[in-house]
C-alpha cells in the first residue's frame, strides 16, 4: 500500500530515519549515485579542484619562498640575488587570493547547478509519494540532506583532492633538496592525510550516523508541536510530546558535543603530527648535509604542507557527517516511484498513452479494486466494482470505517490499489501525469486545506484565472456569497492560517466553492456539508448539485442521508464492499442499514429543529 496517515510521535512513517545504514559498499553506492548525477558538471568540478590545488600550492610556495628570502636576507647578500624571490613572494601572495576567489566561484557554480538538479529530483520523488513522508521529514530531506550533496563536493571531495595533489607535489619538491627529508615528509603527510582522517572517521562514524535521522525527527517534532498544538492540548498530550521532543533534542546535543570533542582531539593530534614531521625533516636534512637556509625552507614548507594535508581530516569528518544524508538522498533517487518513473508517465511512455483533453464528462470504472493500508490488515476496499458513466450522480454512504474516503482517495490517485484497476476515460488512473488527473477528477477531499491568504486566492486555486462571474457562482452555490459581501475587505479578506479566522462552516463552504470552481469532469465531494446545520446542509448540497455542469459526474460521500433523494443512485458501503444500492426512495423502503440510519437521523434532526427557537 502506498500511503497511510501517520500519527504524532510516529517517526517511522515513510522515512528511512531509523533504518540502519548500508554497509561500506552500500555507503559508497550513495556517493556513486551522487557522482553519477555530477557527471554533466565534471569539467567544472575538475576545474574547481585544480584551482583549489593551485591555491594551496601557492600558499605552500609562498611560505617556502618567504622563508628562503628572510633567511637569505639575514646573510646580507647583494640585492639582485633576492629580487626574484621578492617578486615571487608578492606574486604568490596576490595569486593566492585571486586563485582562492576563482576556485570558490568555480566550485560553487558547479555544485549549485548540480544541487538544483538533485533538489528537483528529490522534490519530484517526494511529491510522487503523495503524503507517505511526513512534512517535517520531507523538509529535512529537501534542505539538509540535499545540502549533504553540496557539502560532499565542496567541503570533502574538492578540498580533499586538492590536498592530496599538493602533498604529492610537496614531496616531489622536497626530494629535489633532500630525498631522506622527502621520505620523512611523505611519512608525516601519510599520517596527517591518511591515518588521521581514518581515525577521525572511525571515532565519529557511529555518532554521525545518528545525527541526520535525529535532526529529521526533530524537524518532524517541530511540525507536530506547532501544527498539532491544538489537538495535543485537547488530548492532554502536550507534556508527553514536549518531553519526547526534549529527549531527542538532548540526545542530539550530546552527540554533537561528542563529535565536537573528538574533532578537537583529532585537530590537536594534527598539530602534533605537523611538529613531529617538521622535526624529523630537519633532522634528516641536517644529517644529509643540506645547506642551513634550505633546512629552514624545508622546515617551514613541511609545516605548511602538513597543514594542507590536514584538510583531509576535515574532509573525512565532513564525509562522515554527510553519509546518512547522502544515503537518504541516494535511496530517494533510486525510488521506483521517483522521477524516472514519473517522467515515463509524463512523456506518455506509461501503458496508457497520452491522456485525452477533458471534454464534458468522462466515464469512471472500478474493477475488482482492493486497497489494503498494511500487509495483512483487513482491506479498506474489497474487490470493489463500480461503473460511473459520464454525468451520473452517485452518493456513497455507510458506517464509519466502511471505506468511503478510501474510495475517493483511490479515485483521485492518492492511494494506489493493491489489486484491480480504476480507469478514468478508459485509462488507468496511475498512468496519468500528476497535473492531468486533477483536471478530470477532483473536488472536496477529506480535511481540505484552506490557505493563509485571501478568499479570492483560496478560491482561484481551484481554477486560476477564473472570471468574476464564475467566482460569484461558486461562492453562491456554496452559500458563502452573503458572508463575502459582508466583509469589509470582501474578496480580499484574509482567512488566517488554515482558515483559522473562519468558522468551521465557512471554511467548509470556501473549500466547497473552490471545488465547484475547479469543475472537474468527475466531482468528488467527501462530506461536503460537514460542519453545517441540517437546513443549511440540505440547501448547500442542492445548490452544489445544481451548479455542477450537466454531463459532469458527481460522487458524494456523506454521513448524512438527507438531501440525497435527487441522486441517480446511492451505494451503501460496509467493510469495503457495496451492501445495498438504489435510489433514496427504494432504500428507505427496504430493511437494512440505510433505512435504520435514515430513521435515526430523521428523529435526531426533527428533535434539533423542534428545539430551535
Ligand atoms: N492512512 C491510513 N492508514 C491505515 N489505515 C487507514 C488509513 N486510512 C484509512 N484506513 C483504514 O481503512 C478503513 C477505511 O477507512 P476510510 O477512511 O476509507 O473509511 P470511511 O468510510 O471514510 O470512514 P469515516 O466515515 O469514518 O470517514 C478503516 O478501517 C481505516 O482504519
Q: List pLDDT tens digits, range 244-281.
A: 899 999 999 999 998 889 888 988 999 999 999 999 99
Which residue's CA is the closest to the ligand 1 atom numbered 24?
400
pLDDT given at position 171: 93
Among 2, 6, 402, residue to substitute to test ligand 1 (most atoms within 8 Å of Cβ): 402
563-577 mean pLDDT:
90
| Atom number of ligand 1 nearest to Cα 559 | 25
Cell of 50: 585544480
Rounded CA-CA distance 186/434 in Å is 58
pLDDT averaged over every residue in the chain = 81
N-term to C-term CA, the chain: 50
Report the range of poorest mean pLDDT among 12-26, 329-343, 472-486, 550-564.
12-26
Q: Which domains does the chain have, with CATH numbers?
A: 24-343 (1.20.1560.10), 364-611 (3.40.50.300)
pLDDT given at position 203: 85
Which residue's CA is the closest to the ligand 1 atom numbered 31?
401
Residue 611: band (very low, low, confident or very high) from pLDDT cuts 50, 70, 90: low
pLDDT given at position 7: 36
65-71 mean pLDDT:
90
Strands (E), 131-251: none
pLDDT of 234 higher than 70: no
Give the strand order in the sheet containing 393-397: 441-444, 522-526, 553-557, 393-397, 569-574, 577-582
pLDDT given at position 377: 84
Residue 66: band (very low, low, confident or very high) from pLDDT cuts 50, 70, 90: very high
| Atom number of ligand 1 nearest to Cα 407 | 18
594-605 mean pLDDT:
86
| Atom number of ligand 1 nearest to Cα 409 | 18
pLDDT of 346 higher than 50: no
Q: What angle do CA 191, 311, 189 make, to 5 degrees?
A: 25
Among 134, 381, 398, 406, residue to substitute to test ligand 1 (most atoms within 8 Å of Cβ): 406
Residue 365: band (very low, low, confident or very high) from pLDDT cuts 50, 70, 90: very high
Which residue's CA is the closest to the ligand 1 atom numbered 30?
401
Residue 612: band (very low, low, confident or very high) from pLDDT cuts 50, 70, 90: low
Angle between helices 42-74 and 292-309 (to 10 degrees): 150
Q: How far is the CA of 128 from the centre of ligand 1 (A)?
A: 21
| Residues forming a β-bridge with 557 | 396, 526
Greatest mean pLDDT among 133-137, 140-144, 455-459, 498-502: 455-459
pLDDT digits 0-9 by tens, 127-167: 655 444 445 556 666 676 777 778 888 888 888 889 899 99
Q: How far is the CA of 425 from the centre of ligand 1 (A)?
A: 27
Q: How far is the CA of 385 from the centre of ligand 1 (A)?
A: 18
SS3 content of the chain, % helix, strand, coil (to 5): 65, 10, 25
* Prediction ipTM score: 0.95
Among 404, 412, 555, 557, residue to substitute to test ligand 1 (most atoms within 8 Å of Cβ): 404
Q: How far is the CA of 370 from the centre of ligand 1 (A)?
A: 13
Q: In terms of C-beta density within 10 A (0-12 exposed, 13-18 middle, 19 or more buried), how is residue 453 classed?
A: middle
Rounded CA-CA distance 66/369 in Å is 79
pLDDT digits 0-9 by tens, 282-304: 999 999 888 888 899 999 999 99
Q: How far is the CA of 216 from the centre of ligand 1 (A)?
A: 27
pLDDT of 12 higher than 50: no
Rounded CA-CA distance 48/150 in Å is 14
Residue 23: band (very low, low, confident or very high) from pLDDT cuts 50, 70, 90: very low
pLDDT digits 0-9 by tens, 433-451: 767 787 888 888 766 777 7
Of 182, 211, 170, 158, the residue nearest 49 (C-alpha): 158
Which residue's CA is the closest to the ligand 1 atom numbered 2?
4
pLDDT given at position 32: 77
Which residue's CA is the closest to the ligand 1 atom numbered 23?
401
491/62: higher pLDDT: 62
Q: How far is the CA of 559 from the centre of ligand 1 (A)?
A: 14
Q: How far is the CA of 427 from the centre of ligand 1 (A)?
A: 26
pLDDT of 610 higher than 90: no
pLDDT given at position 323: 72
Q: How far is the CA of 406 from the centre of ligand 1 (A)?
A: 6
DSSP 41: G
- Furthest C-alpha separation in the chain: 119
Which residue's CA is the closest to the ligand 1 atom numbered 28?
401
pLDDT given at position 357: 36
Report the range of poorest mean pLDDT among 70-74, 263-267, 450-454, 558-562.
450-454
Q: How far is the CA of 575 from the centre of ligand 1 (A)?
A: 10
Rounded CA-CA distance 453/493 in Å is 8
Hey, how many other C-beta atoms are within 10 angstroms of the C-beta on 579? 15
Which residue's CA is the closest to the ligand 1 atom numbered 6?
373
Residues flanking ligand 1, CB < 6 Å: 3-5, 373, 380, 398, 400-406
523-547 mean pLDDT:
85
Report the range of poorest mean pLDDT among 169-173, 264-268, 411-415.
411-415
Hey, how many other C-beta atoms are within 10 angstroms of the C-beta on 360? 11
Rounded CA-CA distance 186/326 in Å is 32
- The enclosing H or E element of 388 equals strand 381-388
Rounded CA-CA distance 143/437 in Å is 29
Rounded CA-CA distance 507/497 in Å is 11
pLDDT given at position 385: 92
| Atom number of ligand 1 nearest to Cα 378 | 29
Which residue's CA is the closest to the ligand 1 atom numbered 25?
400
Which residue's CA is the closest to the ligand 1 atom numbered 9?
406
Q: How far is the CA of 133 from the centre of ligand 1 (A)?
A: 18
Cell of 127: 511529491
318-338 mean pLDDT:
68
- Calculate the dihedral angle through the C-alpha atoms of 161, 164, 169, 170, rounding to the nearest 10 degrees: 140
Residue 235: band (very low, low, confident or very high) from pLDDT cuts 50, 70, 90: low
| Percent of the chain topping pLDDT 90 | 30
pLDDT given at position 443: 84
Amino acid at each position: 500500500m502506498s500511503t497511510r496517515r501517520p500519527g504524532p510521535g510516529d517517526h517511522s512513517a515513510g522515512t528511512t530515519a531509523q533504518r540502519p545504514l548500508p554497509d561500506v559498499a552500500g555507503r559508497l553506492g550513495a556517493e556513486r549515485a551522487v557522482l553519477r548525477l555530477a557527471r554533466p558538471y565534471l569539467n567544472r568540478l575538475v576545474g574547481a579542484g585544480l584551482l583549489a590545488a593551485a591555491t594551496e600550492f601557492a600558499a605552500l610556495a609562498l611560505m617556502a619562498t618567504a622563508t628562503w628570502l628572510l633567511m637569505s636576507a639575514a646573510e646580507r647578500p647583494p640585492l639582485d640575488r633576492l629580487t626574484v624571490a621578492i617578486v615571487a613572494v608578492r606574486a604568490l601572495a596576490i595569486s593566492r587570493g585571486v586563485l582562492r576567489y576563482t576556485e570558490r566561484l568555480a566550485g560553487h557554480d558547479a555544485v549549485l547547478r548540480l544541487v538544483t538538479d538533485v533538489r528537483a529530483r528529490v522534490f519530484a520523488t517526494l511529491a510522487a509519494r503523495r503524503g507517505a513522508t511526513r512534512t517535517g521529514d520531507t523538509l529535512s530531506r529537501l534542505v539538509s540532506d540535499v545540502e549533504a550533496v553540496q557539502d560532499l563536493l565542496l567541503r570533502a571531495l574538492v578540498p580533499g583532492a586538492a590536498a592530496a595533489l599538493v602533498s604529492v607535489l610537496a614531496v616531489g619538491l622536497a626530494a629535489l633538496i633532500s630525498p631522506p627529508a622527502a621520505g620523512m615528509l611523505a611519512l608525516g603527510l601519510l599520517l596527517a592525510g591518511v591515518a588521521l582522517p581514518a581515525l577521525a572517521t572511525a571515532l565519529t562514524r557511529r555518532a554521525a550516523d545518528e545525527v541526520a535521522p535525529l535532526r529529521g525527527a526533530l524537524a518532524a517534532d517541530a511540525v507536530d508541536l506547532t501544527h498539532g498544538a491544538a489537538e495535543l492540548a485537547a488530548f492532554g498530550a502536550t507534556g508527553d510530546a514536549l518531553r519526547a521532543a526534549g529527549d531527542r533534542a538532548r540526545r542530539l546535543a550530546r552527540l554533537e558535543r561528542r563529535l565536537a570533542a573528538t574533532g578537537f582531539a583529532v585537530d590537536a593530534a594534527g598539530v602534533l603530527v605537523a611538529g613531529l614531521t617538521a622535526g624529523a625533516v630537519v633532522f634528516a636534512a641536517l644529517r644529509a648535509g643540506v645547506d642551513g637556509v634550505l633546512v629552514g625552507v624545508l622546515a617551514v614548507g613541511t609545516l605548511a604542507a602538513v597543514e594542507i594535508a590536514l584538510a583531509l581530516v576535515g574532509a573525512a569528518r565532513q564525509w562522515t557527517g554527510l553519509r546518512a544524508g547522502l544515503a537518504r538522498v541516494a535511496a530517494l533517487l533510486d525510488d521506483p516511484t521517483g522521477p524516472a518513473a514519473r517522467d515515463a508517465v509524463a512523456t506518455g511512455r506509461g501503458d496508457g498513452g497520452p491522456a485525452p483533453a477533458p471534454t464534458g464528462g468522462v466515464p469512471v470504472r472500478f474493477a475488482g479494486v482492493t486497497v489494503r493500508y498494511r500487509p495483512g490488515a483487513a482491506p479498506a476496499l474489497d474487490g470493489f466494482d463500480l461503473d460511473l458513466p459520464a454525468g451520473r450522480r452517485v452518493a456513497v454512504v455507510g458506517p464509519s470505517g466502511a471505506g468511503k474516503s478510501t474510495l475517493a482517495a483511490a479515485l483521485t490517485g492518492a492511494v494506489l490499489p493493491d489489486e484491480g484497476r480504476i480507469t478514468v476515460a478508459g485509462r488507468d488512473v496511475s498512468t496519468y501525469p500528476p497535473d492531468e488527473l486533477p483536471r478530470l477528477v477532483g473536488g472536496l477531499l477529506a480535511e481540505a486545506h484552506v490557505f493563509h491568504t485571501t478568499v479570492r486566492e483560496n478560491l482561484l486555486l481551484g481554477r486560476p484565472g477564473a472570471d468574476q462571474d464564475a467566482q460569484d457562482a461558486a461562492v453562491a452555490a456554496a452559500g458563502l456569497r452573503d458572508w463575502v459581501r459582508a466583509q469589509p475587505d470582501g474578496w480580499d479578506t484574509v482567512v488566517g492560517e488554515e482558515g483559522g479566522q473562519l468558522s468551521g462552516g465557512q471554511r467548509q463552504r470556501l473549500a466547497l466553492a473552490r471545488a465547484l470552481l475547479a469543475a472537474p469532469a468527475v466531482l468528488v465531494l467527501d462530506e461536503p456539508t460537514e460542519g453545517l446545520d441540517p437546513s443549511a446542509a440540505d440547501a448547500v448540497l442542492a445548490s452544489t448539485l445544481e451548479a455542477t455542469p450537466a454531463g459532469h459526474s458527481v460522487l458524494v460521500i456523506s454521513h448524512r442521508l438527507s438531501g440525497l433523494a435527487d441522486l441517480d443512485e446511492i451505494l451503501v458501503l460496509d467493510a469495503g464492499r457495496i451492501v445495498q444500492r438504489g435510489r433514496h426512495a427504494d432504500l428507505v423502503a427496504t430493511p437494512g442499514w440505510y433505512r435504520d440510519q435514515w430513521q435515526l437521523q430523521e428523529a435526531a434532526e426533527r428533535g434539533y429543529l423542534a428545539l430551535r427557537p
